[in-house]
Each structure stands twice: as C-alpha cells, then as structure tokens.
Structure 1
Amino acid sequence: MAFHLQPLLCLFLLTIKSLAAQTTLFHGALLLLPVTKDVETLQYTTQLLMGTPQFPTKLVVDLSGQSIWVNCAPSSSSRQFISYGSLPCLMAKSGAQRTIPAATICDIHQENPITGAANLGDLAEDIVTFDGIGLLTTVDNFLFSCSPDYLLKGLVNGAKGMLGLGRSKIAFQSQLVNNLDIPRKFTICLSSSDGFIISGTGISNSLSYTPLVSTHGGGLDQYYVNVNSIKISGRRLVLQPIGGVKISSIVPYTTMKSTIYGIFTKAYIKSATLLNMTMVAPVAPFGVCFSSQRVVPDIELVLQSELVKWLIQGRNSMVQVSDSVMCLGFVDGGLDLNDSVVLGGYQLEDHILEFNLGTGMMGFSSSSLLIEGNSCSKIRASVSRPTELL
C-alpha cells in the first residue's frame, strides 16, 4: 500500500511547489511596469497614470534617480503641493525654502542626468495608478516634483519627466514600500523591446548575489557593485583596483575612464586577433570595430570573488552597426569621468537584476538570458499580460 502511495505523494508535493511558485509570481505581477526602449535615444521608458482626470505620463527610467519629477502640465484637480517643514518635505531632503503668494512650498533638487541640467522643483502629491495584470493599483498621495519645460530637453519624444529608482526615501520603489507595505526590493529586466520592473518580489531563484557598495565619489542613492578584476577570454587585465562600478540605465553603453579603456581595448583586440577577427575603421561613438562574425571574446567582471562573475558575451558585448560591421559596445569616457566604470544599459539588457534594499544586496543573472533561449520579453509575457500603455 505504501509503495503505491509514494508516487501520489511525490505528485502532490510537486503540485504544492508549483502552486507556491505561481502565487509568488502573481503577487509580484500586480506591480509590474512595462519598460520599452526607444531606438533613437536608447532611453528606457515606462508610463504611469497620474492625476485627476488620469493622464498617461511617459517617464524615462533612471536607476540612480532620487525621485520622480514631472512636467506638471496639464493641471490636475487632485494635485496638492507640500508645505515647507512638513514631514513629507523633510523626508524628501528639501532644499532651500521658497515663498510664493499665500503659500510656502517645499523645494527639492531635481536633475536631468542626460543633459546635466538641474534646478529646484515644487514637491507635490497626487493620485497615481499602476496598471498590472488587468488590475489597477492606486496610491492617493504619491510624491513627485514639478519641473519646468527646459528640464525635458534631451528626453525621448513624449516623455514628461523621469522615474527615479534610487535608494532615497521618495524614489519610486520606496514610496511603494511605504504605501503598499511590500518588501523593500524590486526587479528590473531591460530589453531592446519589452522589458519590465516588478516591485516587492523577485522572479528567479537562480541568481548570483553581490553586495551593493558606497563610493566616495558616487551618491549614496545610486547603485554600485565592487569589481575586483576584469578578464577577457579568461585572461586577467593588469589594472589598478577598479572598486565601485556604477549600474546605470541612463548611460547607453558601458563607459570607462580613459586609463582603463586603453588597457581594456588593447587586451580585447589581442584576443580578437587570436579568433581571426578583422579590425575595420571605428564607428562613433565606439573606438573598436570589426568585420561581423559569430564568435567573439568573452568578458568577465569578477566581483567579490572568483566564484561571483558577471559574464558579458556576444549580444551584450558587440553592437551591430551595419550588415558587415560590429563594434565593441564600450566607450571612452575621458580622464574626467567621475566613476572608473559605468555599466550601461546595453550590457544590462536581458539580465535579471534584483535590488534588495533590505539586505543591501543585488541579485543578477550572471550570463545573458538569451544563452538559455530566454529573454526579458518572454519573461514579461509569461508573468503577466499588462495593458500596453506605451
């Protein structure tokens, strides 16, 4: 009798495990934001429904952004400005006080990292709605700052501002944590087509983890990971300690300080020559280009140990600029670059990144999902079928 029941028991346990996994995915999908890449500006955008009446608001996704800033036209009947000295103002790390007739408005710093333009914006709150798997989630007192028209310069056509995902108290995911009582984590998967952001949960159990670190030059609200060394085709580059590498959704391609870029490209060309790759004239903004071929050198970022590596291969290392030419998707940031290395959007695509702000760790798929026949687009389609807003 026990022998015959054993297969049934195994089937029951597998069914329970499967249902538990589905429940986890469903919970996260309630807070799924679609992310789309613009082919001209290479910016990643999402959309919120803001105000009364609800107005579709296209925003550029900024992993390092401290807040959400929006060009506040058209007007909303439910929008309210936050007074100077109030708790929300203190939480937002308000800047200098500014007085307007009959009111004193909280001012906070807002910046366009694409153009470098910055100013103080009026802090406001309004109704914001997120469209998940056919189920609307609404927050009544979502905080953001109002920007002038000129701050929109450099953003993709139709964008009304930026959605910040940094570690500040009024960044997007921090406000979701405070208003919806969800875990302090979010997952982002960028794509050349259909990516996504999921707040409050992870979507994979097969990630590598590395600590998020702070740097002296970088802001505390930004995301850095420690890189001990870089390898090309398994050979370690002779470099000074790299330290904190910034993770950015704004920089299109990984950018290196000139001293590092020179050593990096020299080693890459050497490895490419061994694979019989033929160099051709560079195509801006890239400094190293080749005749197209299938096999290219692998790049490894060695993090806290030799066991924790970020593998950059094929699609994430090479940019196809024409039918016959491909270029190494890394650019020279000059000698005055604030960070030694900024890991850009192209290298992040089709990698799962899970930012756990509670533990101070970042989980990541150490190799591209494409190698496994998967992609961010496929995961987004399997997790949910959100109403397409973009």
Structure 2
Amino acid sequence: MASSYNHHLISLYLLLIYIISTTATTTSASPRPKSVILTLSKDTSTSQYTTKVIQRTPPVSVPLTLDLGTQYLWLNCGKRYVSSTYKPVNCGSPLCALANAKICRSCPAPPGPKPGCNKNTCRAIINNPITNKSTPRGSELATDVIQLNSSNGATTGGLVSLPNFLFVCAPTSLLGGLAKGVFGVAGFGRTKVSFPTQVSSTFRLAQVFALCLPPLSENGFAFLGDGPYNITPGGTGLNVDLRTMLTYTPLISNPVRTSEYFIGVQGIRVGGEDVQINKSLLSIDSKGYGGTTISLLYPYTSMETSIFKAVTTVFDKQIANSSFPTKRVAPVTPFEFCYDEFPSTRVGPAVQNIDLVLQSENVVWTIAPLNSLVRTNNVYCLAFVDGGKNPRSSIVIGGYQIEDNLLQFDRAKSRLGFSSSLVYDRIRCSFFNFTSKA
C-alpha cells in the first residue's frame, strides 16, 4: 500500500515538473485559482452527461461527454482541428512515459505539426466507452492550451488557462454512440493523466473532484479541487457548503480495471429490510469481476441477475403489502417493475428507500424515491435494470441514481464522499450560482 502511494506521488511530481518546465518557455498557466468548475448538462437522447471546455489557438468551444472510467481526455482531430499551439508528444519523452503510451509511430507529415499524424510521435490506444471500439494502432498524444472557468466555491469566475494540456487525437470513426455534437470524452478515471489530475497538478490543487449531476433541462457542476461547494437552499437565503453533508467510504482498487471507481457495498436494504443476496458477488475477484462501481454512462443502476431479482422481489412485496392505492402494470422497457400511481411528496413518490450498506451498518448510502423511481409512459417504474448473470461489475450505480446528489472523489485519501439526495434539504444541483460559463 505504501509503495503504491509513493509511486503515485512520484508520478504526480513528474507531471508537475513537466508542466513547469514546458510552461517556462511557452504561454504561462493562469494564476492559481481556488478551484475550477465545469458546467454539466444531460443529453436528452443518450442520457450522457456533457460539458464544454475552450481549447486551441484561436479558441474553440469543445463539447465533451464525461466518463469516470476513461483514462485520458480524447477528442476528434479531424480536418477542422486548427491550432497554432498544438504540439505532438515525441516518442521517448517523459510525458509519453507518464501517459504509459508505448506505441511510437512515424507517418509522412508535411512541415509543421499536423494534428493526428506526425513523425516519431507517441501514440496511445483509446477506447469508446459506449461502443467499446478502440484504436489498436494507437492515436497521437499531444498537448494544446485549454481554458476553464475558475471558481471561489460560490460562483463561477473568470477563465484560467492550462497551456500544455495532454490529450489524445481520436479519429472521427471513434465518435459513434456519443451524444450528438460532442467532440470526444473527458476522462475522469483514476490515472496520472486524467482530466482532473492534470487540472489539479497544474494549479497545485488537491487531487479531489466533486460531481453534482443534473436532471434533464437543468445544469449541474463538476468542481476540480477541494471546494468549498456553496449552494443556497431554496427560499432560505443561506449559503451551505455541501461538504458538510458528505459521508465517506473507501474507494476500492480493482486489480484489472484500475482506472474505475469502486466502493465496498456490503449489503442492500429495502424499506429497512435486509435483502438476502450472494455476498460473494460484492467482492472483486482476481480477474476484475464483481464489486460495485459508479458509472456516468449507465443511465440506471444495473445489478447482477440474482441481486436484481432479490431487490425487486422485496420492493414489490412491500408495495403489495402497503396501504398505497397502486397496482402493478405492464413493464416499460428497460424496466420490469412498473406501477400505476403513488402518493407524492416534496421529495418524490411516497415509497420506501433503498439503502446500500457500505463498510459498516452505520455507513449507508440512501437512494431516495426521487432517484429510485422514474416517471415514464404515465406510470412509475423502479429505475433499476437486470445486468445479466455474469456482468463485469455485480452492481453499477448509474447516473439517474446520483442526480441531485453530491459525490466527492478524493483520490489523495482514496475515499468517496456522498450526500444522498440533496432535495431533502431543498437543494438542487442547478441552484449553484452559474454567473458565467465557458
């Protein structure tokens, strides 16, 4: 454990040294902000969460899909990529080694840097997380300037520049399945060169980022840095630092899927009742299978078949034995358990909570009714899906279940902070004061 931690610190130190040495002879990075903020929105057709950054010289607004498992920022470098600050990464360079990019390729390029194909450049294999299509021959590793909004924790601020932001040039063919209009993927994975790692290293911020995902037609945010994350609850006029609402649980390492974020779910309760499941499925085996991960690309939480059946059976039985004036109705794809009506409350339908029991009985992530039921085709459906009999992860916590929740990914301390639904406290992610946006 100590050796792995020291190796991580050395890697971050090398990245910081690279940034300092390269910015010394080019455009300097902006003064250190308190934190950096991205504005998030939810795509209607794909349910992907997207953001925008400003990249290149002259600057261009670049829409991206967020993914917690992707290692890099990668984006399309087609014919429209024009930038005087684009720099390919040379084979054998420290940055090439830091990115663990082991392919070196020479291709006939005209004089001057041509995005996507230059002589003796370092290349990385990247993957489309939706289609699983990859670039087996590798894609060019490069740097360019990007600009992001700073923040004081209460409002968005002015733009700050990162002059040598590392990314991978992807072919147009790799964009399939992504939200319409996006240029690529902002990788937030647990890697040395992921999007948040580079931002934090450049501005010497804590290796921490927080997500507050929005429902459709609203804005959410991603904070890069330790906060504060100040929001004003509806009608109160008071500022609340959302960090005070967090409960923490360790992040678990997967020996195979090292860039993903896993947590140690120990059990599941529905309406306070323990669900009887095969708990061996909650552990990660030597091949990287099992356990519980968090994904922004799964619209709804997916559970291994036996876990799904156990949870839905208990939920449906409790509904049937309740005094609610409701009845089971025909399934609505992709959901199996749908009901005609429920009494409503300020925080969603009046049904039981679903709890993920974490490292102890007292550490529980509550999935509130607002996040467990979805209104579709004029009925309410339990927003969980059957993930099959041998999925890579036994439980994948999907985007819908964490909308209007705050999640803080603390890589330095290897822990996840979670709030459960903010709506109980009359807070929505969209309440943040978005005074300016990139």
What TM-score do the two structures reach when normalised by structure 2? 0.79
**Gap runs ≥5 in structure 2:** 1-31, 110-118, 151-155, 230-242, 284-290, 345-349
**Aligned match of 1:93 in 53, 75, 100?**
100
CA contact (8 A) 2:105 2:123 kept: yes
User: Is 1:115 aligned to residue 168 of structure 2?
Assistant: no
Deviation at 1:27, TM superposition (A): 5.7
What is residue 308 of structure 1 aligned with on the other side? 363
Q: Give structure 1 regions of 4+ aligned residues with deviation exceeding 4 angstroms.
A: none
Give SS of 1:327's match: strand
Q: State the Cα distance separating 1:94 from its structure 2 match.
A: 0.6
1:250 aligns with 2:326: no
Once the two structures are superposed, what CA deviation does each residue of 1:227-250 show, in whole Å capped at 9, x if it has no partner?
000000100011111233101111
SS in 1 for 2:405: coil
Q: How many angstroms apart in 1 are the aligned matches of 2:263 and 2:140? A: 33
CA shift digits 1:22-66 (9 cap, x unpaired): xxxx965x5111000112110100001111110100000111111
Which residue of structure 2 aligns with residue 195 of structure 1?
A: 220
Counterpart Cα distance in 2 of 1:117 and 1:147: 11
Number of residue pairs matched by the alignment: 356
Distance (whole Å) between structure 2 residues aligned to residue 134 and residue 214 of structure 1: 35
User: Which residue pairs with 2:288 in the alignment?
Assistant: none
Specify the alignment match of 2:329 in structure 1. Answer: 280
Aligned to 2:353: 298
Spell out, residue by residue over 1:236-290, the C-alpha distance to the aligned partner (whole angstroms, 9 max, x if none). 0111112331011111100111121111111111111122431100000111111
Distance in 1, matches of 2:44 and 2:370, equals 16
Question: In structure 2, how many angstroms separate the alpha carbons of the residues matched to 1:116 and 1:267?
Answer: 35
Distance 2:173 2:52 in 1: 20
Q: Is the 8 A contact 1:211 1:225 kept in 2?
A: yes
Write out per-residue CA displacement over residues 344-384 of structure 1, whole angstroms, 9 at most, x where no aligned residue: 0000111111111111111110x300111111111x22xx4
Instruction: Pick one of 72, 75, 89 that aligns with 1:70.
Output: 75
Confirm whether residue 181 of structure 1 aligns to residue 236 of structure 2. no
Partner of 2:162: 139
Counterpart CA distance in 2 for 1:95 and 1:153 is 26
Could you tell me which amino acid in structure 1 is paired with residue 43 of structure 2? D
Alignment counterpart, residue 239 of structure 1, candidates 273, 277, 290: 277
* 1:83 aligned residue: 90
Q: Distance in 1 between matches of 2:37 and 2:253?
A: 28
Alpha-carbon separation, structure 2, partners of 1:50 and 1:248: 26
What is the distance in 1 between the residues matched to 2:368 and 2:269? 12
Name whichever of 57-66 and 288-297 sits farther off: 288-297
In structure 2, how many angstroms separate the alpha carbons of the residues matched to 1:292 and 1:143? 50
Contact 1:34 1:386 survives alignment (8 Å): no
Task: Give me the whole-angstrom Cα distance separating, in 2, the residues matched to 1:255 and 1:143.
Answer: 33
Aligned with residue 374 of structure 1, among 417, 424, 427: 427
2:357 and 2:390 mapped to 1: Cα distance? 25
Indicate yes or no: 2:402 matched with 1:348. Answer: yes
Paired residues of 2:356 and 2:366 also in contact (CA < 8 A): yes
Q: Cα deviations across residues 180-236 of structure 1 (Å, max 9, x unaligned)?
A: 1111111111011211011111322221000000134x5111101000000001000
- The counterpart of 1:152, out of the listed 172, 175, 181, is 175
8 Å CA contact 2:148, 2:159 repeated in 1 = yes
> RMSD across aligned C-alpha pairs, in angstroms?
1.5
Structure 2 SS opposite 1:135: strand
Bigger drift between 268-277 and 60-69 goes to 268-277
Identity level (%): 36
Counterpart check, 1:171 vs 2:221: no
Measured in 1, the distance between the counterparts of 2:68 and 2:341 equals 32
Partners of 1:225 and 1:27 lie apart in 2 by: 30
Residue 99 of structure 1 and its aligned partner are, at CA, apart by: 2.1
- SS of equivalent to 1:142: strand
Distance 1:34 1:255 in 2: 26
SS in 2 for 1:70: strand
Structure 2: distance between partners of 1:190 and 1:254: 15
Does structure 2 conserve the Cα–Cα contact (< 8 Å) formed by 1:70 and 1:160? yes
Contact 1:289/1:328 (CA < 8 Å) preserved in 2?
Answer: yes
Secondary structure (helix, strand or coil) at the match of 2:356 reads: strand
TM-score normalised to structure 1 length: 0.88
Is 1:125 aligned with 2:143? Answer: yes
Q: Secondary structure at the match of 2:269?
A: strand
Q: Say if 2:314 is the partner of 1:267.
A: yes
Amino acid aligned to 2:244: N
How far has the Cα of 1:138 moved from its partner?
0.2
* 2: CA distance, partners of 1:265 / 1:352: 26
How far is 1:336 from its partner?
Answer: 3.0
Residue identity in the other structure for 1:128: I
Question: Offset of 1:81 from its aligned partner?
Answer: 0.7
SS state of the match for residue 69, structure 1? strand
| Whole-angstrom CA distance in 1 between matches of 2:143 and 2:354 | 45
- Residues 58-88 of structure 1 show CA distances to partners (whole Å, capped at 9, x for unaligned) of 0001111111000023221210110111111
Aligned residues of 1:317 and 1:328 also touching (Cα < 8 A): yes
Partner-residue secondary structure (3-state), 1:97:
strand
- Does the Cα contact within 8 Å between 1:190 and 1:345 map onto a contact in 2? yes
Give the counterpart of 1:329 among 375, 379, 383.
383
Stretches of structure 1 that go unaligned for 5 or more consecutive residues are: 1-25
